[in-house]
Amino acid sequence: MKHLLCFLGLFLIPGVGSFDLVIDEIPDEVENLIDLEIDGFPSSSKMRNGRYQRSTSDWGYVGDLVEDDDKIGLYSYKVQSTITSRLANTMIQAKMVNNAKRSQHIVFDVQVPKGAFIDNFTMDVNGITFTSRIREKSEARKMYSQAKAKGKAAGIVRSNALDMENFKTEVNVPPGMRIQFELHYHEMIRRKLSSYEHVISVKPGRLAKHMEVDVRIIEPQGLRYVHVPNSLGDHFNGITTISKGEKKAHVSFKPTMAQQRKCPTCSSTAVDGNFVVQYDVNRETTGGELEIFNGYFIHFFAPENLDPLPKNILFVIDVSGSMWGLKMKQTIEAMKAILSELRAADQFSLIDFNHNVRCWRDNLVSATPSQVEDAKKYIQTIQPNGGTNINEALLRATFILNEAQNLGMLDPNSVSMIVLVSDGDPTVGELKLTTIQKNVKQSIKDEFSLFCLGIGFDVDYDFLQRIATDNRGMAQRIFGNQETSAQMKNFYNQVSTPLLKKIQFNYPQESVSDVTQSSFHNYFGGSEIVVAGKVDTENLQHLESIVTATAANAELVMETLRDVEELDGFMKKDKYADPDFTRKLWAYLTVNQMMAERNTAPTAALKRNITKSILQMSLDHHIVTPFTAMLIENAEKDEIMLADQPKDPRRGCCPGTLGLTPNAPNNNNKGIPAWANVTAVPVSFMPEQRSPPVSSLSINRVDNDPHFIIHLPKSQRNICFNINSEPGKILNLVSDPGTGVVVNGQLVGAKKMENKKLNTYFGKIGFYFKNKGLKVEITTETITLKDGSYSITLTWSDTGHIIRKQLLVSVKKENNVTITVGEEMSFMVVLHRVWKNHPVNVNFLGIYIPPENQFSPEAHGLIGQFTSEPEVYIHDQRPGQDPEKPQATMEVKGNKLTVTRGLQKDYRTERVLGTEVQCWFVHNSGKGFIDGHYKDYLVPTLYSFLKKP
């Protein structure tokens, strides 16, 4: 039977990012459907219910495809994008074939720009086309349930919020079968730093017989320039062609298969990155441009012949423990460069915060050379440590600005702003995000702007975006890598030159309605304000006569109106122009504005009304929002999948935030190494399977009462044993004189015996790093780092970080602690809590140690001794007393042992149910597998080295 598994990621509204869709169950009907052998593909393009169904009959001969080792051939990879008056419509299409003699997974994995709306997704499997449509969420769920109840093929699809802009589809394809994926999305191209930039991710993953990136630009205002930087690398010099006219341009990138190769004899592709097109349009001296088409108007507003206003700026910098390392280094580098760009008329100050808040100056100071130099010296001394108190830091910043304004210290024409730089959630002080949002809003009172820079992949970007939008600012994610400094400076450059303050656009009521984005707090040089609305074409004379933009410091009259008939003729004459661009731009802006208004609605009734409006807009314009779901179905509508988007339980609801799939790994774990995330692996007992060679499962661990699971990397097996000792005893897990590292665990007993046996668990774990002079003690209540007489303690109710001598202790609230020592080694301790009055069980700890830790050959202990992997031979499998637990003979260290096949639990990501791990169980406290007797591993104190016999 062939299985169809789809993991689909669909984009929502700007700033939402993406989500994965996972089919939880695949009925037999879908399996049978994929077994069908259908010759050819549909022979003509069709539109069904407004959705594209493209022809795939142009495959032609595929015998000369270059394939990777997996025998998957990529026949064609096309990207076609058309920009009509700043609205970009993009299509990404891939045609692939499975030339292997077995079924295998074919993946369509693309990145969609943040802020894009997906128009359509189709998947064509040997002529059977699956398309998508939007429905109100409850209705879509009902349709899915009805299909399932009638025995129709239906797969439930759940979303997983990752805050990444990925659209990914994975299909298990039978041999010889062809498949086509096609994704359509649209986005509004924003102007930044005096340029529009259209970014297309081009990552085919393998050589393509036909590859093409085709971009067409149609701008009624006229094109000033078009530029294509060499973003894909010098390998592709001279391949891109640009044809530019007065109002149109065509950019084409068509590398041959030979040009795609990394080297002349390579079978891998060099096409891996972003294809970027930059351009700008001609502008009138007034800076305004009105375009009216098909009943909608778009007003582009970008004056640049104005002097920058002075600014009052407070930089609020997160210096908690999670910023340790490259993040902090890059932040300091960027801040020093940003401070150098302050103008003499500007005022500024710095606030840095962890669990405490500190001010470089208690008030704003002028940006004189000496003050700027002092600020740079102050930043250079920052040492990250502790938790994250975002609430107090932002309130301190707003207090400084409000006090300066109340005392008359600010120029009336100046612009005030706060720039927050952070990499995480609040962990100290006020923790409730909605309360922080409310506190900051009440303190700012619409008097100035808040801009947020979220650093890293694990930042709660949705919260930063909400709080910035709420306070007339914007947010940007800064990915923590070598380019962090450049990204921060680029963001600052976008907001560093305010030209107009508190702008209000005034349109004659006789001619326009449903205007969106009509007022703005500030306008910055090099950017653009876009206003859209519906227009009454019979009353255009009112719109022609007066359109004004009023600001606190200026009033500009927009006299430029694109001739309606001229624009109509221009658009109809160009076959590539999108005739619906004004409606799409209006819908794009309106949905985003309503989502922002919903976040700040003062009453529940108003929030409900806004929600209804968003839902209607979503249905009218085929947009996925938190209030709709997408049905994915075949032409006969008898095979249905539901793209469902649950709310995020951590954040209440919100502008497009998404929930985590139940039991899915939560990747928002700052400070946790990659090995700490584990996913479930199918379990099978007969015949014996070796442990899957998956790094996330390749962990040595001790959990429960206590169960030891030793992973043997060479043989890819897990060997298990229990230790039955007494409460209060201390067991040595790792003792390594070579690196000076000790890990010991102290046992605690259950409250009473069960079946004449008292279970014991680890109630305390001690780490001693002798070469650093550091000790870490972890109990079920506290986490303490000791350095001589110095000591710092966190509780399990905290989420925070402690850094000392390049050792990082990272605490995730009520969950786990990770200890990281440079790149040499890391450990995780997991907390298990029972309900308060449990009659038997007690709180206890589990410990997880990756075998990649760089211990020395001298390492010993119950886990440390397996740094040198013993030879293990398992044979003579036979049924055991329990049919589900077969037995076998294991030969190890000269001993022959009877072992039992069974399951143990891994609790790194699922602490309640755990993830099942296969292993061979050694009886009698590991006798014969461990060196000597388990009592040989008892030590007198929590930080004692093991004395070898």
> Residue 179 carries which DSSP code?
E
CATH number for 72-281: choose from 2.60.40, 1.10.3470, 1.10.287, 3.40.50. Answer: 2.60.40
Percent of the chain with pLDDT over 90: 34
939, two tokens: 């030590």
- 449-455 and 415-422 as β-strands: parallel, antiparallel, unpaired? parallel
Question: Confidence band (pLDDT; 50, 70, 90) for 114?
Answer: confident
Instruction: Provide the pLDDT for residue 125.
Output: 79
> In sequence order, which residues have a C-beta less than 8 Å from that of residue 265 and are 6 or more positions away?
none
More confident residue, 856 or 5: 856
Backbone angles phi and psi of 747, in degrees to 5: -85, 145
Question: Confidence band (pLDDT; 50, 70, 90) for 269?
Answer: very high
Instruction: Provide the pLDDT for residue 198.
Output: 95
Residue 126 φ/ψ region, left for φ over 0, alpha for ψ in the -120 to 50 degree band, beta for the rest: left
Instruction: Provide the pLDDT for residue 541.
Output: 61
Q: If you classify domain 311-488 with CATH, what class do you get?
A: alpha beta
More confident residue, 649 or 712: 712
The yes-or-no verdict on residue 267 having pLDDT over 60 is yes
The yes-or-no verdict on residue 60 having pLDDT over 50 is no
pLDDT average, residue stretch 230-244: 93
Peptide bond into 27 cis (omega under 30): no
CB 787 within 8 A of CB 803: no
- 716 in helix, strand or coil? coil
More confident residue, 340 or 908: 340
Question: Confidence band (pLDDT; 50, 70, 90) for 170?
Answer: low
Integer Cα distance of 133 and 663 in angstroms? 28
Question: Of 321, 367, 328, 327, nearest to 346 (Cα)?
Answer: 367
- Return the residue matching tokens 């930039």: 197
Question: Of 433, 390, 915, 555, nearest to 701 (Cα)?
Answer: 915
Helix (H) or strand (E) holding 439: helix 433-444
Instruction: Provide the pLDDT for residue 659.
Output: 20
The yes-or-no verdict on residue 45 having pLDDT over 80 is no
Integer Cα distance of 322 and 328 in angstroms? 9
Sign of the torsion angle spanned by Cα atoms 395, 396, 397, 403: positive
Integer Cα distance of 551 and 503 in angstroms? 4
Instruction: Provide the pLDDT for residue 32.
Output: 29
CB count within 10 Å of CB 556 equals 18
- 824 in helix, strand or coil? coil
Within 518-651, strands assigned E span: 519-524, 529-535, 548-551, 554-557, 628-634, 639-644
pLDDT average, residue stretch 19-32: 29
The yes-or-no verdict on residue 57 having pLDDT over 90 is no
Q: Model-level pTM?
A: 0.63
The yes-or-no verdict on residue 95 having pLDDT over 50 is yes
What pLDDT digit, counting tens, does each position of 659-683 carry? Answer: 222 222 333 344 445 544 443 333 3
Instruction: Provide the pLDDT for residue 312.
Output: 96
- Return the residue matching tokens 């930087």: 229
Backbone angles phi and psi of 658, in degrees to 5: -125, 155
* Cα 708 to Cα 513, 849, 886, 906, distances in angstroms: 69, 11, 20, 11
The yes-or-no verdict on residue 564 having pLDDT over 70 is no
| Of 308-317, 443-452, 795-804, minimum mean pLDDT range | 795-804
pLDDT average, residue stretch 226-243: 94
Instruction: Provide the pLDDT for residue 505.
Output: 83
- 288-293 and 296-301 as β-strands: parallel, antiparallel, unpaired? antiparallel
CB 332 within 8 A of CB 812: no
* Cα 320 to Cα 421, 766, 828, distances in angstroms: 11, 25, 20
* Cα 373 to Cα 339, 340, 377, 797, distances in angstroms: 9, 8, 6, 40
What pLDDT digit, counting tens, does each position of 591-633 carry? Answer: 888 887 887 777 889 989 998 998 898 888 887 776 777 677 7
Work out the burial of residue 636: count CB atoms within 10 Å of its CB; fewer than 13 is exposed, 13-18 middle, 19 or more buried. Answer: exposed
> In sequence order, which residues have a C-beta less than 8 Å from that of residue 679 and are 6 or more positions away?
665, 694, 696, 909, 915
Integer Cα distance of 612 and 627 in angstroms? 9
| Of 18-32, 802-816, 901-915, minimum mean pLDDT range | 18-32
CB count within 10 Å of CB 838 equals 12
- 584 in helix, strand or coil? helix
682, two tokens: 């199918």
Instruction: Provide the pLDDT for residue 755.
Output: 76
Work out the burial of residue 89: count CB atoms within 10 Å of its CB; fewer than 13 is exposed, 13-18 middle, 19 or more buried. Answer: buried
What pLDDT digit, counting tens, does each position of 481-492 carry? Answer: 557 788 888 889
Strand partners, 555: 550
Question: Of 251, 255, 261, 275, nearest to 203 (Cα)?
Answer: 275
Strand partners, 214: 80, 252
> In sequence order, which residues have a C-beta less than 8 Å from that of residue 915 and are 6 or more positions away?
678, 679, 680, 681, 905, 906, 907, 908, 909
Residue type at 463 in one-letter notation: F
Question: Of 611, 398, 593, 420, nearest to 515 (Cα)?
Answer: 593
What pLDDT digit, counting tens, does each position of 779-796 carry? Answer: 999 999 998 887 888 888
Backbone angles phi and psi of 651, in degrees to 5: -125, 10
pLDDT average, residue stretch 96-116: 83
Instruction: Provide the pLDDT for residue 342.
Output: 94
| Of 415-419, 460-464, 898-902, minimum mean pLDDT range | 460-464
Question: Confidence band (pLDDT; 50, 70, 90) for 30?
Answer: very low
CA angle 79, 82, 87 (to 5 degrees): 125
| Of 293-307, 424-438, 550-564, 813-827, minimum mean pLDDT range | 550-564
538, two tokens: 């019979």
Work out the burial of residue 719: count CB atoms within 10 Å of its CB; fewer than 13 is exposed, 13-18 middle, 19 or more buried. Answer: buried
Integer Cα distance of 517 and 594 in angstroms? 10
Identity of the highest mean pLDDT range in 64-78, 615-629, 670-684, 686-700: 615-629
Instruction: Provide the pLDDT for residue 631.
Output: 73
Average pLDDT, the chain: 79
What pLDDT digit, counting tens, does each position of 719-756 carry? Answer: 999 888 889 999 999 999 999 999 999 999 888 887 77
Instruction: Provide the pLDDT for residue 557.
Output: 62
Instruction: Provide the pLDDT for residue 287.
Output: 65
928, two tokens: 């014969």
CATH 3.40.50.410 in the chain, residue ranges: 311-488
CATH 2.60.40 in the chain, residue ranges: 72-281
Integer Cα distance of 670 and 683 in angstroms? 30
- 46 in helix, strand or coil? strand
The yes-or-no verdict on residue 565 having pLDDT over 50 is yes
The yes-or-no verdict on residue 365 having pLDDT over 80 is yes
Peptide bond into 693 cis (omega under 30): no
The yes-or-no verdict on residue 501 having pLDDT over 80 is yes
| Of 55-59, 159-163, 166-170, 762-766, minimum mean pLDDT range | 159-163
The yes-or-no verdict on residue 48 having pLDDT over 60 is no
Integer Cα distance of 861 and 478 in angstroms? 43
What pLDDT digit, counting tens, does each position of 186-233 carry? Answer: 899 999 889 999 999 999 989 999 999 999 999 998 999 999 999 999
More confident residue, 512 or 50: 512
CB 849 within 8 A of CB 859: no
